[in-house]
Each structure stands twice: as C-alpha cells, then as structure tokens.
C-alpha cells in the first residue's frame, strides 16, 4: 500500500513525501481508509511514535471543506506540548494545501489571541481539555459543524484527571460527529468512556494490547537501593553516545537527580511541573536540538516531547501506574528505529518487573551493571568509532604532517596509539581501575574496610552532533577537559553533623532533613544522635555533595555544618565520642557528669557566654 492509492488529497501526498513519508505505517494503513470511509467511531490501540498524527491528520485534511471557515474537526490531547506538536505536524502535511487553518488552544498562555483566531475562523482545533472547555464556556466557539473528534492519548488524559472536562466537551459536540479514540493502553476508565460516548466503535489494535514497541529492548538492572544513582551513571558511561530521557516519579526526584548528574559532569537537565513554561520550553528546545544529552523528566512533563531518535529511556524509578511503562518505553524505538528501555530496580521491586513483563508481553534482559573494564572498553571503542567517522580536512592538516612525523620519529605505531589513548583516557582508566562491581549478590563492604574510590570524575562525553548533521559530519567538538582524579573514597562514609538532642533532632528528623535538602531519597544509615551533635553513614559518593548542600541548611534556627569523619579531619572531641560509642557496644551512652552551675546549666567560663547561653541568644 502507498499513500498515492489511499484516496488522500494529492497535495497532501506531495507534502508528506517531502517529509520523507514513503509508505504508511501500520496504524496509518488501518486508520486512514476507515476515516476516509467516514463510517463510524474507532478505538485505536497504538503506541506513541507509530505515526498516529498522520493517521488521523491526513484524512481530516482530505475531508475539509476549505470554503467553510468553521471548525470541522476537534483534536483533544493531554498536554500543551503535544498540542503544539500535533498542530505543527498537521500544518506541515497541509504545506501544499493553501487556505487551511489549524489552531492550537492550550492553557498557560493568554486566551485572547486564541479567541481572536477563533473569531477569524479555523478549520481544525487542536486543544487541551481545560482550555477547550474554558473557551466553550465563554461561548466563543461554535462546534455545530464539527464532524470528527479525535481523542489522542486518551489514557493519559484520563490519568491526568480530565474525565469531567472531556465529558463536558463531548456533550457540546453534535451527535453526528464521528469519534476516534487513540490510546496506548486500555485501562477500565478508557473502555468505559469509549462505551459511553462512542457508537459501536470498531476496535483496531496495532501490535499487542499494552505492548511496547517491537524494536525496543527492555533491560533490567537489579541493584541495592543505595546504588541506584551509581548504576544510572555507569549506564550513562557505558553508552557514551546515549541520548536519553530518565524518568523519575516525583518533581523533587527529577530535580535532584538532574542536579546530581550536572554536578558529576553529565550533559543533563530537568523537566517537570515546578518549572515555568518558559523554562520548560527552553529545556525541551535544548533537548530536541541535541544540545542536551540526558533529560531527567516526570511522566507528565515529558508527554508532549516529540523526539524520535532517543537511544534510551531509563526508568530511574518504576512508575506508580505500571501502564505508564508502556508510554515511557514507547518514547524510544520510534519511527522504525531501535532503542533500549532500562529499568533500575531494587530487590523488593522484582515483582513489579514481572507484572510489567506480563503487561508488555516481552521479557526483560536482566543485566549486570557494567564494571570499570567494560565501561572503559565501551568508551575507547566509541572514541575509535568517532575517529573513523571524523571528516579530515586534508588541505588544512597536511601542512602539519612533516613536522608531526619528525616529532614522532623513532616511535612504534603501537606506542603512538597507546600514548594517544592514555592522553584522552588516563583519568577514566585510573578512576575505574579500583571501582568495585555494583553487584546485588555481594554484600557491600563495611565502612572503613573498603578503600574503593567512588565515581566523581566523568569521562569526556562523546560530542553531541546537531540533529541535522550526519554521523560523518559530526563536529569534532573539543573534548571536555579531563577532570582531576577524585581522592579515593570508601563506599560508606561516616559523617558528623553539628546538630544533636539539644536541637530536638532524632533519627527520623535527621533523615527527613537530608532528603528534603537533597530533593531526593538519600539512604542514611547508622545514625547516632548525641547531645550536641550526631553521626550517620551515607554512600561515599554522597559525602561531598551532602556536605555542600547541607552547609546552606538551617535546623532549629542553627546553621548546619556537616563533614566526613575521617582520621585526618577528626577533631579530638569527635574521636573521644567515637571511642565512647565503641566502648558502649555501638550505643551512645550517658556522658561523664559535668560540673553544673546552680541552675543546673553548665558553668559559664569567666567573661565568655557559655555555648548554651549563646544558643539561647540566637
Ligand atoms: P507520531 O506517532 O505521529 O508522533 O509520529 C512519529 C514520527 O514518525 C513522526 O516524527 C513522524 O514524522 C514520523 N512518521 C509518521 N508517519 C511516517 C511514515 N509513514 N513514514 C515515515 N515517518 C513517519
């Protein structure tokens, strides 16, 4: 089947062939003839990225009465971004069809311009439910001429709580209008909506129900909770050409993980609902143009992001609603490309992974987190790949060759290769040389015993090519300066914090404060609360950032100070306290009685207010 013999308007076929559409995708092959036949309602179960927009857009545009500038089709979708995307796509299909007017209406921007455009007359409205209903309630749109209603990503619209809005909108559309509902999954809510508002809808399934895209590989890494972030970094290091979305459950997690990745030298940024629309647009533009390699996002915020060539989708946390996994993984492996959907889970989440397997009808490949050697090899091979693809400007370079050859005289070819590799990779090799496996089966070494360095230096990433550049035309961007090697850090680090019982802290409050300040769940162990200060243990790689983040925090009106307790840094007081804890079998016991003043308070040193007095004064 070709687009030519489907009965589409010839101008549309010309426009889409310029976009590179040669043959219809499966969803287009099934949906376009049905819509052109104009027979009845359709429920289409199809993933994102399967060509849905053209599947409904091309028949809608073919059947428009262009003389009549009144809305004839209404497309509803969950987010502003998707709304803009659909409008842009449909405008591109109509590029050779003059006089077609398609309007996007969505919230978060002033309504007046949209109302004025409606007044001038439009053929197709693409809207988000909230804004569409707002316009209908203001009686600023007449939907009497609407013949087709498209509910795109219906499951997402219902997930986002748009049920009532959708029902109100559908009630305002003529009964004679045909409805086409697209959904990646078929939860009960969608089925009952289809039953209530659609007339004997024909169901089309493209691929399996709830199934992920066929060309997506599903990888699963089972790790200790505390290794989740380190695993993410290893995966990012192992795939240096990664172009990925990392999904987190909450806005706080999203921001936290993005901040940590940025701090660790990755080309990452965040996308979530706490950002303003301008910030979100900026991040999405950066990501679309491939000036950003890793986007950390919530499900909702990433919804409208139309990017086809993602290499990876990473589930840093599994979604609360497992159906969302299909949406997430459907963001890779689009438009005929292949992709990898990764889940990072802890031991307790294995059951949820099984449920996802049943849901998507394909198996996860359970993988070991790449070790240092594997990461180094992958990075080296990627560099060689880039070296092979780089364009050599002979005219410019040849003039230097005699001098270069003279300088290299007497060196074997092997030696030259090794030295160039060392130049680029010494830091990485050194860093990964002593890094342990993040295996789930081997218990983590106790603090102090293991002296394995933990990640901080980041290998220079592969330069990102602008989207339109081909692999061979990649700009040989200057590699990032290699970061200085980090001092070796144990896997677990004992930390001191200057907050204790007197400040009203307890283990829960301490752990809550750390999570709150870091915007993510930081595993905190072995908490010992003393009268004036406390100790706790965290993963080695968390020690530096925590020290930086917490030094800006306040607790009970006091500035917080945190520092790692290691022998060099340890003050006499900390050492004494630690010895006392050890002597009491690990439990902080009562202190030696102190000299007390009359009022039961510590005796002040002459001329100087006591610490307790200073604290009260604060
Ligand atoms: P959609 O599911 O509509 O978001 O489409 C996903 C991507 O596939 C978009 O970038 C489209 O431009 C592209 N696409 C849609 N249909 C075709 C086709 N028949 N041939 C090639 N690419 C297509």
Query: What's the pLDDT at 614?
Result: 55
Q: Report residue 480's pLDDT band, with 50, 70 and 90 as the boundaries.
A: very low
Q: Report residue 253's pLDDT band, with 50, 70 and 90 as the boundaries.
A: confident
pLDDT at 104 over 70: yes
Spatial distance between the Cα atoms of 365 and 357, rounded to a whole number of angstroms: 11
Query: What's the pLDDT at 594?
Result: 45
Percent of all residues in the chain with a pLDDT value above 90, rounded to a whole number:
35
Q: What is the mean pLDDT of residues 263-280?
A: 88
Beta bridge partners of 204: 44
Query: What's the pLDDT at 577?
Result: 63
pLDDT at 172 over 50: yes
CA of residue 211 to ligand 1 center, whole Å: 19
Query: What's the pLDDT at 66?
Result: 93
Q: What is the mean pLDDT of residues 227-244?
A: 91
CATH 3.50.50.60 is right for the domain spanning 492-583: no
Query: What's the pLDDT at 374?
Result: 87
B/e letters for 340-378, b = 16+ CB within 10 Å, e = fewer, are bbbbbbbeebeeebeebeebbebebeeeebbbbeebbeb
- CB atoms near residue 210 (< 10 Å): 23
Of residues 220 and 468, the one with the higher pLDDT is 220
Tell me the per-residue pLDDT of 581-596, one tens digit each, with 9 for 90 and over. Answer: 667 665 554 444 444 4
Range list of H helices, 43-103: 52-63, 80-93
Instruction: Choose the residue to mutate in 8, 51, 85 for probing ligand 1, maximizing ligand atoms within 8 Å of C-beta.
Output: 51
Decide whether 3-205 matches 492-583 in CATH topology.
no
End-to-end CA distance of the chain: 79
Extents of the domains making up the chain: 3-205, 214-388+410-445+461-487, 492-583
Tell me the per-residue pLDDT of 481-502, one tens digit each, with 9 for 90 and over. Answer: 333 333 344 577 888 888 988 8
Query: What's the pLDDT at 209?
Result: 44
Highest mean pLDDT among 109-113, 255-259, 337-341: 109-113
Tell me the per-residue pLDDT of 54-68, one tens digit each, with 9 for 90 and over. Answer: 999 999 999 999 999
pLDDT at 561 over 80: yes
| Atom number, ligand 1, closest to the C-alpha of residue 21 | 20
Q: What is the CATH number of domain 214-388+410-445+461-487?
A: 3.40.50.300
Determine which residue's CA is closest to atom 16 belonging to ligand 1: 51
CA of residue 25 to ligand 1 center, whole Å: 8
> What's the Cα-to-Cα distance from 217 to each of 213, 346, 611, rounded to whole Å?
9, 20, 61
Tell me the per-residue pLDDT of 567-579, one tens digit each, with 9 for 90 and over. Answer: 554 556 556 666 6
| Atom number, ligand 1, closest to the C-alpha of residue 50 | 2
Instruction: Choose the residue to mutate in 16, 18, 54, 330 for probing ligand 1, maximizing ligand atoms within 8 Å of C-beta.
Output: 54
Query: What's the pLDDT at 494?
Result: 85
| Atom number, ligand 1, closest to the C-alpha of residue 47 | 2
CA of residue 286 to ligand 1 center, whole Å: 21
Find the range with the poorest average confidence among 236-250, 306-320, 458-472. Answer: 458-472
pLDDT at 149 over 90: yes
Question: Cβ < 6 Å from ligand 1: which residues?
Answer: 20-21, 24-25, 28, 48-54, 306, 308, 334-335
Tell me the per-residue pLDDT of 1-41, one tens digit each, with 9 for 90 and over. Answer: 789 999 999 999 999 999 989 899 889 999 999 999 887 89
Using the Cα atoms of residue 15, residue 20, residue 23 and residue 26 in order, give the sign of their dihedral.
negative
Tell me the per-residue pLDDT of 460-471, one tens digit each, with 9 for 90 and over. Answer: 444 343 332 222
Specify the DSSP class assigned to residue 273: T
| Atom number, ligand 1, closest to the C-alpha of residue 25 | 19
pTM of the model as a whole: 0.52
Strands (E) across 187-263 are located at 202-205, 216-222, 244-247
Query: What's the pLDDT at 173?
Result: 94
Of residues 182 and 277, the one with the higher pLDDT is 182
Determine which residue's CA is closest to atom 15 belonging to ligand 1: 51
Percent of all residues in the chain with a pLDDT value above 70, rounded to a whole number:
80
Determine which residue's CA is closest to atom 14 belonging to ligand 1: 51
Q: What is the mean pLDDT of residues 336-353?
A: 87
Q: Report residue 213's pLDDT band, with 50, 70 and 90 as the boundaries.
A: low
Q: Report residue 214's pLDDT band, with 50, 70 and 90 as the boundaries.
A: low
Determine which residue's CA is closest to atom 22 belonging to ligand 1: 21
Determine which residue's CA is closest to atom 20 belonging to ligand 1: 21
CA of residue 51 to ligand 1 center, whole Å: 4
* Mean residue pLDDT across the chain: 80
Range list of H helices, 250-349: 251-263, 277-288, 299-302, 323-329
Tell me the per-residue pLDDT of 408-457, one tens digit each, with 9 for 90 and over. Answer: 998 998 998 888 888 877 777 777 766 667 765 433 333 333 333 333 34
| Fold of the domain built from segment(s) 3-205 | Rossmann fold (3.40.50)
Q: Report residue 158's pLDDT band, with 50, 70 and 90 as the boundaries.
A: confident
Instruction: Choose the residue to mutate in 6, 29, 45, 53 for probing ligand 1, maximizing ligand atoms within 8 Å of C-beta.
Output: 53
Determine which residue's CA is closest to atom 10 belonging to ligand 1: 308
CA of residue 311 to ligand 1 center, whole Å: 17
CA of residue 13 to ligand 1 center, whole Å: 14
Can you tell me whether residue 315 is helix, strand or coil? strand
């Amino acid at each position: 089947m070709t687009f030519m013999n489907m009965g589409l308007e010839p101008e549309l076929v010309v426009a889409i062939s310029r976009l590179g559409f040669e043959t219809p995708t499966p969803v287009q092959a099934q949906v376009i003839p049905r819509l052109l036949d104009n027979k009845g309602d359709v429920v289409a179960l199809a993933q994102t990225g399967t060509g849905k927009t053209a599947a409904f857009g091309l028949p809608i545009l073919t059947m428009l009465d262009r003389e009549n500038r009144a809305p004839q089709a209404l497309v509803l979708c969950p987010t502003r971004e998707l709304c803009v995307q659909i409008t842009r796509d449909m405008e591109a299909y109509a590029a050779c069809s003059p006089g077609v007017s398609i309007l996007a209406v969505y919230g978060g921007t002033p309504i007046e311009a949209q109302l004025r455009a409606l007044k001038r007359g439009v053929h197709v409205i693409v809207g988000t439910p909230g804004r569409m209903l707002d316009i209908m309630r203001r009686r600023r749109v007449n939907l009497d001429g609407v013949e087709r209603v498209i509910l795109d990503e219906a499951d997402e619209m219902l997930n986002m709580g748009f049920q009532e809005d959708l029902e109100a909108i559908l009630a305002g559309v003529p009964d004679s209008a045909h409805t086409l509902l697209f959904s990646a999954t078929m939860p009960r809510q969608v089925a009952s909506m289809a039953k209530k508002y659609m007339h004997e809808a024909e169901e089309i399934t493209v691929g399996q129900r709830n199934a992920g895209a066929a060309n997506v590989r599903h990888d699963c890494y089972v790790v200790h909770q505390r290794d989740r972030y380190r695993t993410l970094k290893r995966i990012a290091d192992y795939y240096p050409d990664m172009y990925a979305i990392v999904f987190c459950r909450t806005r706080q997690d999203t921001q936290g993980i993005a901040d940590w990745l940025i701090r660790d030298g990755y080309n990452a940024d965040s996308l979530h609902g706490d950002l303003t629309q301008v910030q979100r647009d900026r991040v999405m533009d950066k990501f679309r143009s491939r000036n950003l390699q890793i986007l950390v996002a919530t499900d909702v915020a990433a919804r409208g992001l139309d990017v086809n060539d993602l290499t990876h989708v990473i589930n840093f946390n599994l979604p609360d609603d497992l159906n969302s996994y299909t949406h997430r993984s459907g963001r890779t492996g689009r438009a005929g490309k292949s992709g990898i959907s990764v889940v990072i889970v802890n031991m307790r989440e294995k059951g949820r992974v099984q449920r996802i397997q049943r849901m998507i009808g394909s198996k996860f490949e359970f993988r070991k987190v790449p070790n240092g050697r594997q990461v180094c090899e992958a990075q080296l091979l990627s560099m060689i790949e880039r070296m092979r693809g780089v364009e050599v400007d002979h005219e410019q370079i040849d003039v230097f060759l005699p001098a270069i050859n003279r300088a290299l005289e007497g060196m074997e070819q092997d030696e030259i290769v090794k030295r160039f590799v060392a130049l680029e990779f010494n830091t990485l090799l050194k860093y990964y040389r002593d890094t342990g496996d993040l295996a789930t089966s081997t218990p983590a070494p106790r603090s102090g015993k293991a002296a394995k360095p933990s990640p901080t230096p980041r290998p220079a990433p592969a330069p990102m090519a602008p989207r339109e550049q081909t692999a061979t035309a990649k700009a040989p961007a200057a590699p990032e300066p290699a970061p200085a090697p980090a001092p070796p850090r144990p896997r677990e680090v004992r930390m001191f914090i200057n907050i204790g019982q007197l400040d009203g802290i307890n283990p829960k409050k301490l752990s809550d404060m750390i999570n709150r300040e870091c915007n993510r769940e930081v595993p905190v162990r072995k908490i010992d609360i003393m009268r004036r200060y406390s100790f706790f243990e965290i993963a080695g790689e968390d020690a530096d950032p925590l020290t930086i983040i917490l030094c800006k925090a306040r607790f009970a009106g006091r500035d917080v100070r945190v520092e790692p307790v290691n022998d060099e840094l340890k003050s006499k007081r900390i050492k004494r306290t630690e010895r006392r804890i050890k002597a009491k079998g690990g439990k902080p016991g009562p202190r030696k009685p102190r000299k007390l003043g009359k009022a039961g308070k510590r005796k002040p040193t002459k001329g100087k207010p006591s610490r307790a007095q200073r604290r009260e004064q604060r």
